[in-house]
């Protein structure tokens, strides 16, 4: 594998060319397709809900499903994830209940974060998924530290840090990469190069020929892989994980893909992205590409996909209905989970707030639109 040459297994059109990576059975391939397809349907519904004014914000991953699911399938259950905010596909692949996703979108009483986090900033401790943070790159140093801790304890677990091409310009990218490399910590740095840091194109982000080659300066392997080829992503990540577990240190993997949609529901990519560029990448849609390959291998049928789609849409609709009908968190929960013992000052504020609600039936609305 190379930091400049791109690893590919499927040919660009999909068709029936391309080998199956070692260890993957037909059931694995179908599970990978299902996860990619489900992510696409979920994102379409999430964007629709925001446009309808039913939720305030959504971050889709249109076009990046193979980059994510290929890596997610290479992970072990005990691995630790330090994700970016465009990665819900892997949480679902690892068994997170879909209701948690929509509870967080509404910030309702069943939301694990009790409505305190921005939408799409999930926290799933049951799958070792660390809380997402808005500041770009902070998760990179966290992942490096967790990897070093696992190394000291002798755990056979790997830490995964996810970030975009824009994240490589953060101070934390340098600090995390350098720290992990010096200690040969079991960490995999996943750079999803979707060509845009919101509206900043990759050529204005870095003068390097590739993002993978940045690994050379830190003394670790850099691997460049076709991020729209789910099998190539899986193979690159599996090999990087085997290397980390064997004590050979971290790897930087650049998955070259494209964001076939907005940065978030507050973004309009038509303002900075040409129609021709979008259409050229649309022809490389990772789901269409994998579908064509599976069809050539007689693994996929239209009947199977139609049944999947019906089942998935029903599952999404049920989760949406449940989340939308769940009330908001109780106001007094604002004071929970910060102090082991709430100080007198906050107890007074809590009492004053409850008294105001008792007297007026509501709290003061200070106004202000959603910030992003």
| 259 among known catalytic residues | yes
| 320, 49 contact by CB (below 8 A) | yes
Q: What single-letter DSSP state applies at residue 326?
A: S
- Tell me which residue of 93, 89, 94, 66 sits closest to 78, measured CA to CA: 94
- Tell me which residue of 226, 219, 224 sits closest to 250, measured CA to CA: 219
Q: Which two tokens stand for residue 156?
A: 């056979």
Which of 142, 243, 263, 291 is catalytic? The answer is 263
Please tell me whether residue 104 adopts helix, strand or coil conformation. helix
Residue 340 Cα distances to 100, 152, 189, 336, 337, angstroms: 26, 30, 35, 9, 7
Which of 51, 54, 116, 272 is catalytic? The answer is 272
CA-to-CA distance for 370 and 322, rounded, in angstroms?
A: 24
CA-to-CA distance for 35 and 83, rounded, in angstroms?
A: 17
Which of 100, 238, 259, 289 is catalytic? The answer is 259
Q: How many CB atoms lie within 10 A of CB 35?
A: 22
CA-to-CA distance for 281 and 63, rounded, in angstroms?
A: 9
Bin 43: left if φ > 0, else alpha if -120 < ψ < 50, else beta.
alpha
Q: Which two tokens stand for residue 350?
A: 């809590």
| 358 among known catalytic residues | no
Angle between helices 26-51 and 98-106 (to 10 degrees): 20
Torsions phi, psi of 215, nearest 5? -65, -30
Active site residues: 259, 263, 272
């Amino acid at each position: 594998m190379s930091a400049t040459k791109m690893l590919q297994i499927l040919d660009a059109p999909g068709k029936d060319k391309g080998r199956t990576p070692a260890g993957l059975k037909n059931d694995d391939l179908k599970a990978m397709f299902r996860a990619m397809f489900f992510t696409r349907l979920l994102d379409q519904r999430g964007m629709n809900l925001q446009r309808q004014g039913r939720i305030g914000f959504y971050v889709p991953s249109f076009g990046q499903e193979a980059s994510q699911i290929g890596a997610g399938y290479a992970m072990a259950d005990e691995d630790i994830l330090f994700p970016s905010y465009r990665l819900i596909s892997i949480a679902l692949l690892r068994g997170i209940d879909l209701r948690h996703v929509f509870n967080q979108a509404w910030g309702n009483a069943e939301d694990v974060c009790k409505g305190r986090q921005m939408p799409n900033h999930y926290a799933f401790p049951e799958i070792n998924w660390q809380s997402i943070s808005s500041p770009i790159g902070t998760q990179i140093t966290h992942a490096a530290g967790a990897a070093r801790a696992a190394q000291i304890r002798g755990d056979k677990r790997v830490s995964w840090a996810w970030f975009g091409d824009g994240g490589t310009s953060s101070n934390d990218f340098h600090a995390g990469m350098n720290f992990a490399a010096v200690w040969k910590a079991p960490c995999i740095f996943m750079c999803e190069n979707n060509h845009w840091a919101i509206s900043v194109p990759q050529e204005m982000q870095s003068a390097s020929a590739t993002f993978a080659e940045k690994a050379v300066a830190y003394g670790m392997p850099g691997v460049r892989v076709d991020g729209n080829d789910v099998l190539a992503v899986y193979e690159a990540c599996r090999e990087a994980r085997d290397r980390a577990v064997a004590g050979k240190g971290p790897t930087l993997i650049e998955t070259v893909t494209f964001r076939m949609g907005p940065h978030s529901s507050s973004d309009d990519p038509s303002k900075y992205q040409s129609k021709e560029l979008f259409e050229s990448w649309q022809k490389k849609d990772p789901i269409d590409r994998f579908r064509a390959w599976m069809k050539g291998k007689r693994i996929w049928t239209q009947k199977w996909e139609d049944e999947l789609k019906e089942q998935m849409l029903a599952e999404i609709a049920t989760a949406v209905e449940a989340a939308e009908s769940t009330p908001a968190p109780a106001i007094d929960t604002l004071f929970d989970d910060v102090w082991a013992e709430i100080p007198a000052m906050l107890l007074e504020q809590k009492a004053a707030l409850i008294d105001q609600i008792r007297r007026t039936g509501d709290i003061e609305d200070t106004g202000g639109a959603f910030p992003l």
